[in-house]
Amino acid sequence: MNLERMLVLVGPMGAGKSSVGRLLATRWNLPFLDADAEIEHRAGLSITRLFERDGEAAFRMLEREVLADLLARPAGVLATGGGAVLDADNRERMHARGCVVHLHVSVEAQVRRLEGDHSRPLLARPDRAAVLQAMAAQRTPLYRELAELSVDTDALEADAVASVIETRL
Ligand code: S3P
């Protein structure tokens, strides 16, 4: 499959954006672009350390820069961070350049999938389910509005999610 537009995956933490994106990029023989990995590469720090050292606002600025650059690449499958849709410029660029696909995951499945994960600074607190619930309330409407396709990943492995996207695009 060859996409003129970039495939852009949005959705909450633990939805499988990176795993599904990597699979699709391999199937389609396109570059896989990972916004979080690029942020870490440019900062020379993990996202956790970047949040600790410079705070979330600095992370969001770098995220905006990285997304603008990655969305300017000629082709690829792009996995974005869960909070990228909060920024209006990011939303506009994604919409202009990409075919946006939303990977949905329930808070219950997120809590299960992210158990023991220490790479997400926004979840470094005991009330994870409440934090994820509040994020979902704010962000789900943004994901849905932006995306051409929404896939519920709760009951699916990454491979099956990739196949659903291939079938429904
Ligand atoms: C964030 C999601 C993370 C990462 C950062 C902030 C968020 O990406 O960008 O920790 O605000 O939801 P993933 O969605 O890939 O976990």
- Write out pLDDT tens, residues 36-95: 999 999 999 999 999 999 999 999 999 999 999 999 999 999 999 999 999 999 999 999
* Residue at token pair 């350049």: 97
Q: CA–CA separation, 94 vs 68, rounded Å?
A: 9
Q: In whole angstroms, how far apart are CA 15 and each of 26, 65, 74, 102?
A: 19, 23, 26, 9
State percent of the chain over pLDDT 90: 96
36: annotated binding-site residue? Answer: yes
For residue 166 the two structure tokens come to: 């291939």
Q: Which of 122, 128, 131, 143 to mutate to test the pocket of ligand 1 (most atoms within 8 A of CB)?
A: 122
pLDDT of 2 > 70? The answer is no
The pLDDT confidence band at residue 5, using thresholds 50, 70 and 90, is confident
Three-class SS of residue 5?
Answer: coil
Q: Whose CA is nearest to atom 8 of ligand 1?
A: 81
Measure 89 CA to ligand 1 centroid, in angstroms.
17
Strands 77-79 and 32-34: parallel
72 known ligand binder? no
Tokens standing for 33?
Answer: 């672009």
Can you name the CATH fold of 6-164? Rossmann fold (3.40.50)
Is residue 125 over pLDDT 80? yes
Residue bearing the bigger pLDDT, 1 or 127: 127
